[in-house]
Structure 1
Amino acid sequence: MTTRRNFLKTGGAAVAGGVVFCSYGLLRSVQARQTLPVRVGGQRVRTIDVHAHCHFREAGALLGPQAASVQLPPVNGAEEAFIEIDKRLAAMDAQAVDMEVLSINPFWYDRERDLAGQIVKIQNEKLAELCASKPDRFAGFASLTLQAPDLAVQELDIAVRKQGLKGAAIGDSVNGVEFSDPKFHPVWAKAEELGVPLFIHPQGIPELNKRLSGDGWLGNTIGNPLATTIALSHLIFEGTFDRFPGLKVIAAHGGGFLPSYADRSDHACLVGPKGCNPAVQLKKKPTEYLKQIYFDSLIFSPEAIRHLVAQVGASQIVLGSDYPYPWQLAPVDHIFESASLSDDEKADILGRTAERLFDLKAQTIGTGTMKQ
């Protein structure tokens, strides 16, 4: 009988098309079945990964010896966040990804205003420079000094109007303050005015660290999706989406746990009205707000995609990988394997929705001019 251990001992991993295992069966390297140029129903589709990360050493240098602890977490792929262009392009080609929309997970929210502002300024300048050097392969989300909302408004305006960035990447809260807090309203108003999306990427839930300790990296496995679930739920229940109906939000990791149990939200205030603020009168059922949120496809399987589509609609899903962190090294494949999707729905998820969301113009990318 071929066991996983025997498979590895006999070199089976090398035979299996580039599949390599590390502890707990995590796939470290996967040979994607799809290749560039990607075609759906015979039509060329530009694949756009909206969930890909980077870092800049120049920004970390402002933190001195602390830089490594925030820019190089002890996870696979961390060093590759410092992009070497040729190496990153080769990785994208191997994943059948035409374009990455790059973001930087916030590590500056707990820094004082001036230092955080300096970090953000460097990151936005360097990211804009990188994207301008390869506009057919990279776009970028700005960083924001969200602990100082007045400064964040200025940063977002400069990033979009002058630096060509396509929106902003934010965490799931700021130093314990939820995004539904009125202090952040000017930032959401600016994003709505500019018509650009905000990418919510969770930072975990430190107050649960004790319960999430132990085996399985539960601080990320459970904590990150839960943080996104909480952030989105506050934005829904506290009327933020009603206040800013044109606000575009993309939720990482398929929106956390919310789409998997969304219908419970419709019943909460009926069952426990004392747990709900009577001053907040939502214009829609809580589940209906999911249809105005965008979700990345980093949920691994065709069945998970089928369920997410059933909850929010295929038009609200965009491609995501989390690269260079090896969560999903063949991000296109499970979209193609989703028998529940039509060709049009697959094309939308792979890139057409992102083209519209980021207002990406037709560009020449290797195999010919892409048209919207």
Structure 2
Amino acid sequence: MTQGRIDTHHHVLPPQYRNWLIDKGLYKARPVPWSVSGTVAMMDEAAIQTAVVSTAPIGLRLDPEDQAPKAREVNEYTAEMVKDRPDRFGFFATLPLPNVEAALEEIRFSYDELNADGVLIPTNVHGRYLGDPEFEPVFEELNRRNAVIFTHPTGVGGTPAPGIPSYVADYLLDTVRTAIDLVRTGRTVRFSNLKIILSHGGGFVPFAAHRMATAPATWGDLTTAEVVEQLRSFYFDLALTASPSSLPSLLAFAKPGHLLYGSDWPFAEEEIPYYTGFLDNHPMSEEERAAINYGNAQALFARIMR
């Protein structure tokens, strides 16, 4: 492959930030080592030319008084990564929601001062999904900037099912919930300049879209066909999703140009060879494979294309 992949689902864990999360009791998962040098080595091994990085999703459940300064800390760190290696990195700016005013300021700073490539927004903010009316000004400003939004699940809230970690099942449901909420509240129509990426292949959106669309009480005046078409308008990354059963569903469902490579590094370190290997060998044209690996992302990120 002459052109390396563009990875749109690639996390960073800056050491100072990671230690702060541990001290606050916000990071209880298995220890994940992370460094810029280790990331570049992984990218070289996986034929990734550029990673559009974002913070670990656990960092989006910060104490209210710490959200804005910690978002700024991570954004400045990732902006420096891009400044040092513009050929290898881009970044999604973290927004300190639910504080709308702080989020608007961070959008301004991240785009105008740090040259962000897009923004990271959790699928829900303390149980409030992305169609929440209070978040309208954030979507208005992002729409004005023709932004790319990377959504990442944080869990559906409540007590996890016994023996089933949230990232195994609840994360998928959380992505589906926010996709439904964005469509039913009209955000996907009113803010048509936005390009919204759903993590992990959109959860089970591609598999269940037609079933979900046949619930008139959810969709108001939208027809089943209109709901399905709007669900197809999202972008879908293939992090932990390019499997023998899920990839064919995504290829059948997503609009042309709407599938993106994603590794979920470093949280999916052991799984990356399996999913990448299946993507490399799945029967499709070389044009389709190149589009998923890098072409579709190049169309989304003008700076990376340059």
Match of 2:232 in 1: 291
SS in structure 2 opposite 1:88?
helix
Aligned structure 1 segments of 4 or more residues deviating by more than 6 angstroms: none
Match of 2:71 in 1: 120
Aligned length: 302
Match of 2:278 in 1: 334
Equivalences for residues 147-296 of structure 1 within 5 A: 147-209=98-160, 212-214=161-163, 217-269=164-216, 275-276=217-218, 278=220, 285-296=226-237
Q: Cα distance 1:358–1:72, how it changes in 2: closer, same or farther (>3 A)? A: farther
Which of residues 313, 332, 339 is equivalent to 2:255? 313
Which of residues 313, 329, 350 is equivalent to 2:293? 350
Distance 1:180 1:313 in 2: 22
Distance 1:64 1:256 in 2: 28
Distance 2:213 2:22 in 1: 48
Match of 2:15 in 1: 57
Moved more, 222-231 or 291-300: 291-300
Larger radius of gyration: 1
Q: Is the 8 A contact 2:26 2:62 kept in 1?
A: no
Residue identity (%): 25
Q: Is the 8 A contact 2:127 2:156 kept in 1?
A: no
What amino acid does structure 1 have at the position aligned with 2:71?
Answer: V
- 1:181 to partner: Cα distance: 0.9
Q: Cα distance 1:232–1:314, how it changes in 2: closer, same or farther (>3 A)? A: same
What amino acid does structure 2 have at the position aligned with 1:213?
Answer: P
- 1:163 to partner: Cα distance: 0.3
SS in structure 1 opposite 2:288?
helix
Distance 1:357 1:141 in 2: 13
Q: Aligned-pair RMSD on alpha carbons?
A: 2.2
Match of 2:41 in 1: 90
- 1:300 to partner: Cα distance: 3.2
Distance 2:279 2:242 in 1: 9
> CA-to-partner distance for each residue in 1:243-293, whole Å, 9 max, x for gaps?
212221101100001111110122111xxxxx3374x65796111012321
Which of residues 128, 141, 152 is equivalent to 2:92? 141
TM-score by length of 1: 0.75
